[in-house]
Amino acid sequence: MTVLPVLRMGHPVLLSVAEPVGLPIGPEIRELAQDMVETMHAEEGIGIAAPQVGRSLRLIVVLPLSERGSQPEVAPLIIVDPELEPLGEQVEEATEGCLSIPGLRGEVPRFVRVRWSGRDLDGAAIGGEAQGLFARVLQHEVDHLDGILYPMRMDNLRSLAFVDAMPPDPEENEP
């Protein structure tokens, strides 16, 4: 496994709509997925999308966390060709960061609950419902597949700030 370089905001791949992986899922996609897991861990992230490592493919890796600082319920979830559907209209703002926009955070509105689906690396259909932080991470990573970075979702750019200039938040455990 390899730690891959993470592209930064401004790179054209991050602003493009990613291509579906489709079936069958070949060994190069399996290797990419494992490299993405390794990269996510090395960067201390809780999710990563293929465009962030320079591959314009609909592939994400997420930690299914219930809250910041908690341990994942299972190993990192690898989702090929993910799709999301909001469950209800409830939206909540919370602070987000991004491996492609290091050092910045901002308040981003997201659906509180979503239904997700896709395929695993064996090509089997997978899916479920997510809420809270897990739903937020899924929406953030799927946005990457559509060429959307979190500042594009922000209602108020006044909350966009450098981490080292923000007052400490006793609730937040993630860098």
- Give catalytic residue positions: 141
Classify residue 38 by burial, with Cβ atoms within 10 Å: 0-12, 13-18, 19+. Answer: middle
Give every CB contact of residue 158 below 8 A, 6+ residues apart in sequence. Answer: none
Classify residue 131 by burial, with Cβ atoms within 10 Å: 0-12, 13-18, 19+. Answer: middle
Give every CB contact of residue 80 below 8 A, 6+ residues apart in sequence. Answer: 21, 25, 29, 33, 58, 59, 118, 119, 120, 121, 123
Residue that the structure tokens 């905001």 belong to: 9
CA angle 97–43–27, rounded 5-degree value: 115
- Distance between CA atoms of 94 and 105, rounded to whole angstroms? 10
- Distance between CA atoms of 51 and 7, rounded to whole angstroms? 8
